[in-house]
Each structure stands twice: as structure tokens, then as C-alpha cells.
A and B are shown apart, each in its own frame.
Chain A
């Protein structure tokens, strides 16, 4: 897999190996249910009684929307042989990758486990995916997302 910035301010991910597309498809699997993330954030808002009821549905709908944009792009990549991340969908991509990383952290405590994370296959694979998603996020920050987007 090779990632290059485009002249239009987006990213192009060239798929080189058969499993590249599988890795990209894992973003949606790893992101899980956005309701969990919005409920977690609502728990922080003790100051506002009806926060969960009023704000959470709007939030998880938005998170679902971001996952849908990513799902559509990954599906198109299967046919094209390359993935195109448009500048206009940079935020959605960052959000979907973040949802995936937050869920992996919730599930496997990747950061607190340290080297222990390498001791079993499932955690190690989760760690490697987290690092890949993080690299993509860094590229999005460096080349796609800006103050005025």
C-alpha cells in the first residue's frame, strides 16, 4: 500500500497487495457502534441532566454518517484498485479512523498494556491496525485537513 497526496488536496492510497483492501475494510469493523462512543462522551457531562437524551442521538448519527462516507470510498476502491480520499471528506475519514482507534483502545487497552500487547495475536493485530490508522490520520492532518475546512 502506498499513500500519496493529490494535487486537489486529498490523498490517494494505491492498493498493492490483495490484503490491502481488507485492512481498509477493517476500519468500519473496528469502529463498531458509534452509540457507544457518544454514550461515553455523554457520561462526562454530569452538569447537564438531559445531555444524553438530547445530544447523543445527533452525535452518533453524525458518526454513522462519517462511517458511511468511508464505507462508500472503500467499496469504490475495490473496483478501482486505489482509494481516493477527497479533501472534502478529510474530516469524515479522520473521524472514522478515530472511532476505530478509540474502540480498539477500549477493547484492548493498547496504550496501558505496553509490551504486553505483543504477547497474543489478537492484541498484536489490533496494535498494528491502530498504528496504521494513526499513520493515516497523521497524513490527513499533514496534507488534507486545515483550519479553514
Chain B
């Protein structure tokens, strides 16, 4: 599986690929206790990956951009960004998620002395009142 994640906001875009991303989880966050289809559901994606570095210092680590995004206050319009995630396998785009008004719900990153690289997890969600703008495509050639 290959992944490509692009976050577009006011700053220069944040781009991650399969070198950094290890797992992508899409969840339509619906209440578990509903008797019929709920109106109140969220659309979120969790992305797990590695914090890589370039020994020459030339590569801009895109995960820093994710950490900074998670800190943007709600009065700043830049807290909502457009996120596009592609899952590619055998020259096919299996999934193409587009989340145009995504905000960060969870962000954490870990570094330790045992593993050579650190790890991160970001959980983003579409602004709930604009759920219909989320697009899920797939099944076409790269």
C-alpha cells in the first residue's frame, strides 16, 4: 500500500507519503446507541506514521507541520484545512478521501531512545455541519 496525504491551508502545504505513513483509518463516527439512523455523525480519519529525519538536514519534516496545525487556535481560520488522502495499490487508487474543512481532534507524537524514529498519530474530522462536502472516491487508475 502506498499513501499520499496533502494538507492545504494558508501556509505551504503539508505533504506526507508512504515513507512516513504506516496506517490510515477512516471512521464514520456514528452514535452506537441509536435506534435509527442518527443525524449526528462525524466523518474522521486517523493517520498513524513515523517522524523521519534527513541526516543532511535538507528535508523539511512534514510532521512538524501537523504538530503546528494541532496548536492553531479556533479564532484563526487556518485551523480548518483541506485534507486529501490517497491509498494506492497496484497502480489503482483504492481510496481518495477529500475532507475540505478538516480540524484536528487528536494529535500526539512519541520519541524514545529505543526506536530509531519517532511515531505520530493525528485524528482529523470534517466540520460537522458541512459533512456533505466530504468526498470518497476510488477504484480508478493512478
Genuine A/B complex: no
Please list the residues of chain B having a beta carbon within 8 angstroms of any beta carbon in chain A: none
Please list the residues of chain A having a beta carbon within 8 angstroms of any beta carbon in chain B: none
